[in-house]
Chain A
């Protein structure tokens, strides 16, 4: 069974640009979660999508946004990039058959903002 997949693996942008990160959940999972892992800040919860709706949001500014598509894949958009947005962005999924909200993570997208 395929795990969570993310694309691209690496992304280089300049300050002020927009970045789009993509995530495909494990087949059968309906929830997608996004986390930021920045150096020195640890893993921070960004967003949770379930059945196409944003269900919860972490303490991040509105320029971090996303959506979930009918096939349960998801996009994370970061507008007006700042240098401190450089981080590993991890996507996770959960769904029926797992222990409640147990989250399974993808390999991440490494974003570098210059």
Chain B
């Protein structure tokens, strides 16, 4: 199947680290992505990782990729109230060019 799976909800205290997990299905995916969606808005590209990488760091964001388990994670360091949003992971589909397969999204709520 083509289901990308994510946990639906994460609550985190301000200043702590957040970790959002995702499992994907296409072992031939070239790129994997993390997007952020704030209420009433479109999708903001946060970061992406090429499939031959294990880790990518970009300021407060760290992406870890385990190709063997098809597991992707996004760590947000020093989580702020402005990080409250829905986070989507997405994979490129090797046999359907142009298509990104999205997970259902993880709602992150940051509490003071």
Contacts and interface: CB of A to CB of B under 8 A. Distances in A.
Contact of B92 (A101, A105, A108): A101
Interface in A1-50: 4, 6, 31, 33, 35, 42-43, 45, 48, 50
B102 to A, nearest CB: 4
A55 B98 contact: yes
Given A42-B104, A48-B98, A102 B45 contact: yes
Interface of A: 4, 6, 31, 33, 35, 42-43, 45, 48, 50, 55-56, 58, 90, 92, 99-108
Chain B interface bracket (under 10, 10 to 19, 20 to 34, 35 or more): 20 to 34
A50 B104 CA distance: 27
A35 B90 CA distance: 13
B43 A90 contact: yes
B35 A101 contact: no
A102 B102 CA distance: 14
Contacts of B102: 42-43
Interface in B10-55: 30-31, 33, 35, 41-45, 48, 50
A105 B97 contact: no
